[in-house]
Structure formats: C-alpha cells, structure tokens
Amino acid sequence: MKLTKTIFTLLILSILATSCNRYLEDLDEGDLVTETEEEEEIEYKWWILTHRSYAKPGIYLYNETTSTIELKLDLPKGLESPHALAFDGESLWVGGVGEDESIYQLNPENGAIISEIPNIKTEGIAVLDEFIYYSDYKNIKKIDKNGVLIETIATKNSSYNIPDIAIDDTNLYYLRYSENEPVVKLRLSSREENKIALSESTGTYCLTVAKNEIITINPFNEIVHFNLRTGEFILNSPTIMEGWATAIAPYEEKVEL
C-alpha cells in the first residue's frame, strides 16, 4: 500500500512539472514577469542662476541627466546682485540683494522682462499658485504677483538671514547658516518648524525641493540630492556650470488641462 501511494505521488509530480515546463515554453520572453522591474529613469532638469560678478553670469536651463546646457538667458540689466530664482511653469521670477533691486518676471524662452515688482531685496524666491514668497532677512513675505503684500511670516529658527527658500503644496523650506541642520521645514497651515539635518553636507547655499528630494548646490557647483523626509544623502552630481551658482529651481512645464 505504501509503495502504491509513493508511485502515485511521483506520477502526479511528474505530470505537474511537465505541464509547467510546457507553459513556460509557450510564453514569449516579453510575457515573463520578473520581481524586479527596471525603473524608468527620472530626468532632472533645472534652472540655475549664476552671479553677475563671476564667469558667465546668466540663467541656465541645465539638464542634469545628460550634463548639458539647453538654454542660456541674459540677466535683466537692472539686476545688480542676482541671488533668487523661481519658475511657475510659465514664467521665471528672479531677484537679488542689491540696494535698489526688483523682482523680475521673465519669459523663459528669451529672457524678456514681462513685469517688475520694485523695491524688493531678497536672497530667495518661491512661487505657489498665484503667490510669491520671498525671504526678507529673518522673515518670509507673501505677496501676489502684482507685488501686494498678503502676509509676513516670522521664522523661529533662522540665522542672521535666509539664503534661500523653496515650497511645495503644504510646506515651505528655508536655508539657514548651519552645517549640521541647514534646512528648516515650515508647515504653512500651523507655522510649526522642524529642522532637517543633511547627511554628508559640504556646505549649502542654493535650495529647492522636487521629486520628494531636497536639492542643493555645494561650493564646488555640484548638485546634491537628499531625501526630503530624512535628509539622508542620495547622490551628488558634478556640473559643467561656471561661476557662482546662487539659486536653483525645478524646470517643469505647465500642463494645460
């Protein structure tokens, strides 16, 4: 009896193995599903601002993925000390820290001035919907795109001034002079602030947020990526940029609905 059961079991297993092999042979190579699918490569493309006082000043459309400069725009003639840059999908917004600076709205195709908001001195600009945020020493001002002041947001963890800011749908991020915890996340709804330590940081000056990452540029003009939630280092990418990079902004074309 035991011998009969054993032979029967072996027979069943043999039939199953043969069926499975035939099934695999009938499948095309493209039909096989593997556990690890090859991830689609993310294209990183940025607007980068370089200072007027150093080599090759301007606003560059830089493709980090291919290490190529796709476009270079001249700075507005009245922009004395360019330090701030944002892109809303349609227009570039650029500002500086000279004595009589303005925030300029520029055409991203040719750099032509669309509008000017005078008498604003700033090192950081971020745009959310129809509003512009800019850093004003230890405060962050919110204005509309005509320059009308909406509110002033006082910061709690800033240093002497705020070198740059960035924004997403719910949080504003600002830089401060600290090697260990240089980024502060400010929740727009509650004004709660939390410091973010960046691992393997070698100095931060420019700041933006994109694709769930914190992006900075270090003193060697390398673009450095960190995890947005934890601050953990992801990668750094040498650039071909020359001069002093003072601001970085994501390039994202506005999608017409």
**All domains of the chain, ordered by start, with CATH?**
45-250 (2.130.10.10)
Q: Give the C-alpha separation, 204 to 216, whole Å.
A: 6
DSSP codes, 178-209: -SSS-EEEEETTT--EEEEPPTT-----EEEE
Q: Convert the pLDDT of each residue in 19-36 to its tens digit.
A: 444 433 443 433 333 443
pLDDT greater than 80 at residue 15 = no
Q: Give the C-alpha separation, 166 to 129, whole Å.
A: 13
* 221: region left, alpha or beta (phi > 0 left; psi from -120 to 50 alpha): left
| % of the chain surpassing 90 pLDDT | 72
For the residues 107-124, what does the mean pLDDT come to?
Answer: 97
- Provide the residue type at 147 as one letter: G
**Residue of 205, 231, 203 lying closest to 49 (CA atoms):** 205
Which residue pairs from 72-77 have beta carbons closer than 8 angstroms and sit at least 24 positions apart in sequence? 73/106, 73/108, 73/110, 73/111, 74/111, 75/111, 76/104, 76/106, 76/111, 76/113
Residue 109 exposed, middle or buried by CB count within 10 Å (0-12, 13-18, 19+): exposed
For the residues 63-78, what does the mean pLDDT come to?
Answer: 97
Which DSSP category does 31 fall into?
Answer: G
Q: Identify the band that residue 254 occupies on the pLDDT scale cut at 50, 70 and 90.
A: low
Q: List alpha helices for 1-121, DSSP H.
A: 2-26
Q: Convert the pLDDT of each residue in 173-232 to its tens digit.
A: 999 988 889 999 999 999 999 999 998 776 778 999 999 999 999 989 999 999 999 999
